[in-house]
Structure 1
Amino acid sequence: MAGSLALSALLHGSLVVGVVWMARGEHGVLAPVYKVDLVAAPPGPRSVGQVQTPEAPTPPANAPVPKSAVTEPDEKVPVKAPPPRRPAPKAATQVPNATSAKANAPAPKAGGGTTGGQGADVANIQSPGIAFPFPAYLNNIANQIILNFDKANLPALTCDVYFVIGRDGSVSGIEVRKRSGSTLFDIEARGAVEAAGRSKGFGPLPDGFSNDILPVIFTFTPQMIRR
């Protein structure tokens, strides 16, 4: 079997997020650490979506027209009266299309928490390491778990949650591998993974990923309590 993949990351300078592929070789040697790079969206409730670009200012309605744009005709030219218009045919009544209405709905607005940043993710995470062939998939794992982690009134503790992502994006085998000492913290950490799995937030495994499952360990740490 292939060796393990370990992945560490920092959130707001101190959060450690670990994503570990648990397939081990005969000697249980871990594979290299891979890079994670998330840049939080502007300040706002944590949400995966699009960053809203500021609209260009609208000029005042009574703004004066530059003199250079006004031209005076040399002489008046007679204008022919337009021919009488025929009555336009009555247009058919349009029936609203639910599918098109859904497609035209505005995209959700990205939010990066209280601090925020200049990107489109739910948190700031920069971790050194070698490039992974599917970095966007790793980034989304971190985004989805952080987004579903209910931080309200939780103690500053640490725990590891193990789970397996299937080829279709389904999640199974969720368990707390390293307990925090707080039943509430462990339940909320496990619940974050369960919520991401129920919503299929991780998405199907990348087409180029050769295995049918992706075992992962995610480490929740005190700094994740920050909103």
Structure 2
Amino acid sequence: MGLPATVSLVLHLSLVVLAVVVARDKPLALPPVYQVDLIAAPPGPRAIGQVSEQAAAPAAETPPPKRAEAPDETPVPMKKAPRKPAPVKSTPVPNAKPGQTRNTPAPKAGGGAEGGRGTDVANVSVQGIPFPYPGYLENIVRQIALRFKPRAGQTLVAEVLFFIRRDGSMNGFQFRRRSGSYEFDLEAQGAVEAAARSGAFGPLPDGFRDDVLTVIFSFDPQLIR
């Protein structure tokens, strides 16, 4: 009776999936190699909105010109009969209108700057020998990567092994290589267990002949950002 096929998913710069089938009393055949390259998601679109309008500079106040003062009235010298001096009319200067400043609104921006790089592993390029169910493998990578949130600035790598059963449940989790950091290893284990608890892996494909899928997964924070 054949042993379960082994499919290895390596989340490094590439993900190598190995399906090993060993028949009793037969020599070990070289396994086919399936390579899945993960490409970081592109930057997000320009943010919708506008730049806050800047307050317009207050217009410089122009003091109104001084009104012309009326000249002093000079009395006419009196002769025989006193004569009233003719009043001198002062010429009023029209009120000068204060300088008007045209209120020009600040130009509105078409949007904000580009968004940051996506944390979702949105683009997955499959190369090498076509795996019969690449979508299932890509979903495993995506679900674990979305739940893997290590502390920034770490350059550690951990490798784990676990089994996915026919119904999509997970068991047999173990470390093949620890990172040397308890916090990092705990985060890696938590990402796998959280994906399994939520049923994110899903049942094995109907056409997959074995009842167990063996997964080897390498955590590298340089790729998942």
Measure how far apart 1:20 and its partner are: 4.8
Write the deviation string for residues 19-66 of structure 1: whole angstroms up to 9, x where unpaired: 55576667766622214255665545xxxxxxx9xxxxxxxxxxxxxx
Q: What is the letter of the counterpart of residue 176 of structure 1?
A: F
Q: Which has the higher helix share?
A: 1
| Contact kept? 1:21, 1:216, Cα under 8 Å | no
Write the deviation string for residues 48-87 of structure 1: whole angstroms up to 9, x where unpaired: xxxx9xxxxxxxxxxxxxxxxxxxxxxxxxxxxxxxxxxx
| Contact kept? 1:154, 1:184, Cα under 8 Å | no
Measure how far apart 1:135 and its partner are: 0.8
CA change 1:195–1:24 in 2 (3 A) is farther
Task: Give the 3-state SS of the residue equivalent to 1:207 in structure 2.
Answer: coil
Paired-residue identity, %: 51
In structure 1, C-alpha distance between the alignment counterparts of 2:147 and 2:184, rounded to whole Å:
13
Q: Which residue in the other structure is 1:159 paired with?
A: 158
1:138-217 equivalent positions in 2, closer than 5 A: 138-153=137-152, 155-217=154-216
In structure 1, C-alpha distance between the alignment counterparts of 2:162 and 2:128, rounded to whole Å:
23
| Contact kept? 1:4, 1:29, Cα under 8 Å | no
In structure 2, C-alpha distance between the alignment counterparts of 1:150 and 1:189, rounded to whole Å:
8
Q: What is the letter of the counterpart of residue 201 of structure 1?
A: A
CA change 1:213–1:21 in 2 (3 A) is same
Which stretches in structure 2 are left out of the alignment for 5+ residues? Answer: 46-114
CA change 1:8–1:191 in 2 (3 A) is closer
CA change 1:193–1:142 in 2 (3 A) is same
In structure 2, C-alpha distance between the alignment counterparts of 1:186 and 1:35, rounded to whole Å:
25
Measure how far apart 1:147 and its partner are: 0.6
Q: Which residue in the other structure is 1:107 paired with?
A: none
Measure how far apart 1:198 and its partner are: 0.6
Q: What is the letter of the counterpart of residue 179 of structure 1?
A: R
| Contact kept? 1:16, 1:219, Cα under 8 Å | no
Q: Which residue in the other structure is 2:117 paired with?
A: 115
Measure how far apart 1:128 and its partner are: 3.1
Measure how far apart 1:180 and its partner are: 1.3
Q: Which residue in the other structure is 1:31 paired with?
A: 31
1:4-83 equivalent positions in 2, closer than 5 A: 4-8=6-10, 15-20=13-18, 31-36=31-36, 43=43
In structure 1, C-alpha distance between the alignment counterparts of 2:16 and 2:206, rounded to whole Å:
23
CA change 1:132–1:16 in 2 (3 A) is closer
Measure how far apart 1:185 and its partner are: 1.3
CA change 1:197–1:4 in 2 (3 A) is closer
In structure 1, C-alpha distance between the alignment counterparts of 2:166 and 2:186, rounded to whole Å:
26
**TM-score normalised to structure 1 length:** 0.55
| Contact kept? 1:170, 1:197, Cα under 8 Å | yes
In structure 2, C-alpha distance between the alignment counterparts of 1:202 and 1:175, rounded to whole Å:
18
